[in-house]
Structure 1
Amino acid sequence: MSSLALPTTRLRTRNPLPGFGLSLGLGMAWLGVVVVLPLAALAVRAAGLGPQGWLRALRDERVQEALKLSFGASLTAAVIASVVGALVAWVLVRYRFPGRRLLDALVDLPFALPTAVAGIALTAIYAPNGWVGKLLAAHDIKVAYAVPGIVLALVFIGLPFTVRTLQPVLETLGREPEEAAASLGASRFTTFRRVIVPELLPAWLTGFSLAFARSLGEYGSVIFIAGNLPYKTEIAPLLITIRLEEYDYNGAVAIAALLLVASFVCLLVINLIPLLFEKKAKRNG
């Protein structure tokens, strides 16, 4: 009796998905070759610079201005993309109107469009002789070849991250919590502040972090509209390329490593956000 039950027990303990070990091994191997190995090489090279090498590379005034511009423009663009993205996601989820599917498809356009094409298109529109640039130039407003153009390009490539992060949360949330709050006499502002925002906040912060990390390393869509003036409109990714062309490998490695650390911190925060809100919910519960 027991000898007959033993094979059955063994069958029940088998993994229902065969090939897990092989799949995991191949996946980790490709991840190591494509992602981990290049990043590890950069980290080793950056660690080899030593304190003096880092200080020499980052004390350069041109490097500091480029870093200030990249971080400042990325932060501004991420904030704008978060606000506009929330509005677009709300419209796509809560309303039905002609052209809704087209608008939904256009949100993903920056994912599919080559960034250089996006930069050329934005420059053609907002340059002083462009369609919109002519109107703005009449009021002494300069977008292309200035900081506003950089922010505009970064908003363009960061907007899909915020929309696609918030959209499924809004679809899951539904209208029931709002209707319940309204039935209890809550105003629209109170409902938004006390009901909608707490539910959207984790996804909102995630979308913001993704947009910021993506903007920080953006190159193609920015260099055409920025003008690339040293100390004024020169971004850090472009300066990395310039340092390589000047055979200043240590300077390029220092800037690249700094951007890598900033992007990694953003991704780490993204993964910690759900855990923090879960702990907070448990304490409140």
Structure 2
Amino acid sequence: MNRTLAILLRNPLSALGVILITLVVLAAIFADVIAPFPEHRGAVVDFVNFNKAPGWPYLFGTDLVGRDLFSRILYAYRVSLILGVVVLAVAVPIGVTIGLAAGYLGGWTETILMRITDVFLSIPPLVLAMSIMGLLEPTLFNGMLAVTAMWWPWYTRLVYNLARGEREEGYVLAAEVIGASRLHIMFREILPNCVPAILTKMTLDLGFVILIASSLSFLGLGVQPPTPDLGSMVAEGAKYLPDSWWLTVFPGLAILVAVFGFNLLGDALREILGVDE
């Protein structure tokens, strides 16, 4: 704990990352309490207050049907964080398992698994997600499915490289000598030594998942209205620049804060856990 505090105090950017992500997470969790107009997260119309510039009581202004932009951004954070957590909760176990098997077992197993992984890695991530979403109905679940399909190979490649380096270590050879099973060696011996790097990448990736999901929504392939989503809010507001600038600027800044915060937090975690670059 003392070392962690020392690192955060020594590196102001790391401390800033912790603060930003704490604020984002609290905003998402307590959106029902913080949002001045919680009912505006849905299909609400208030033409009396439509397209109002930032002021009181609409801190970030209102959209084209009179909904409070600040309230919708808070709920959009909730949607983005749920999507990011679910995607990583599915993609990480798949990628880690394949990477461990390829890195430790070697031979034909390594060749087949890593060539499949290379095929997925050769396709630009956003293009792959767009292709999947083009075949499916644009919903939150399908959006998570599309992003998951493009995310597991990165964990496979990471763990594969780590497992290859670990399989010749003395503790692995000792486990083999005493007759430990392959599953035991992979998941009880090698995996714990990969956890710091995996946790660091997960922290960094949460920001990138939010960015990719927002990109899909910007293109109309992600979360659909009236559910608040940062990407779709930016896309809708972009049509009315520069007059109604708040429709785009504040959702865009919300994306920036989340991505920037997770990147700074990932850098801090890398230093705390002693993960090599």
**TM-score interval (norm. to shorter):** 0.5 to 0.7
CA shift, 1:53, in A, is 6.9
What is residue 155 of structure 2 aligned with on the other side? Answer: 162
- Amino acid aligned to 2:73: V
What is residue 66 of structure 1 aligned with on the other side? Answer: 76
**Matches for 1:213-232 after TM superposition, within 5 Å:** 213-218=207-212, 219-221=214-216, 223=219, 225-226=221-222, 228-231=224-227
CA shift, 1:224, in A, is 5.2
Which string of whole-angstrom CA distances, capped at 9 and with x for unpartnered residues, describes residues 142-172 of structure 1?
xx33221010122133334323333322221
What is the TM-score normalised by the length of structure 2? 0.62
What is residue 89 of structure 2 aligned with on the other side? Answer: 79
Which string of whole-angstrom CA distances, capped at 9 and with x for unpartnered residues, describes residues 1-28 of structure 1?
xxxxxxxxxxxxxxxxxxxxxxxxxxxx
- The count of corresponding residues between Structure 1 and Structure 2 is 209
Pick which of 79-88 and 248-257 moved more. Answer: 248-257
CA shift, 1:74, in A, is 1.5
CA shift, 1:266, in A, is 1.4
What is residue 89 of structure 1 aligned with on the other side? Answer: 99
Alignment equivalent of 2:250, drawn from 248, 254, 279:
254
**Matches for 1:1-285 after TM superposition, within 5 Å:** 54=59, 56=61, 60-93=70-103, 94-97=105-108, 99-100=112-113, 102-110=115-123, 112=124, 115=126, 117-125=127-135, 127=136, 144-176=137-169, 177-183=171-177, 191=185, 195-218=189-212, 219-221=214-216, 223=219, 225-226=221-222, 228-231=224-227, 235-247=229-241, 248-278=244-274
Q: Report the CA distance shift for 1:161/1:235 in structure 2 as closer, same or farther (over 3 A).
A: farther
Q: Gaps spanning 5+ residues in structure 1: where? A: 1-48, 128-143, 280-285
Query: C-alpha root-mean-square deviation of aligned residues, in Å?
Result: 3.3
**In 2, distance between residues paired with 1:160 and 1:193?**
19
Contact 1:149 1:225 (8 Å CA) reproduced? no
Contact 1:53 1:250 (8 Å CA) reproduced? no
**In 1, distance between residues paired with 2:114 and 2:82?**
34
Contact 2:211 2:255 (8 Å CA) reproduced? yes
CA shift, 1:187, in A, is 6.8
What is the TM-score normalised by the length of structure 1? 0.60
**In 1, distance between residues paired with 2:187 and 2:160?**
18
Contact 1:81 1:211 (8 Å CA) reproduced? no
**In 2, distance between residues paired with 1:78 and 1:227?**
18
**In 1, distance between residues paired with 2:154 and 2:274?**
22
Q: Answer 1 or 2: which has greater helix percent.
A: 1
Contact 1:70 1:216 (8 Å CA) reproduced? yes
**In 1, distance between residues paired with 2:112 and 2:181?**
31
Contact 1:243 1:252 (8 Å CA) reproduced? yes
Q: Report the CA distance shift for 1:157/1:249 in structure 2 as closer, same or farther (over 3 A).
A: farther
Q: Report the CA distance shift for 1:171/1:50 in structure 2 as closer, same or farther (over 3 A).
A: farther
Tell which structure's C-alpha radius of gyration is larger. 1
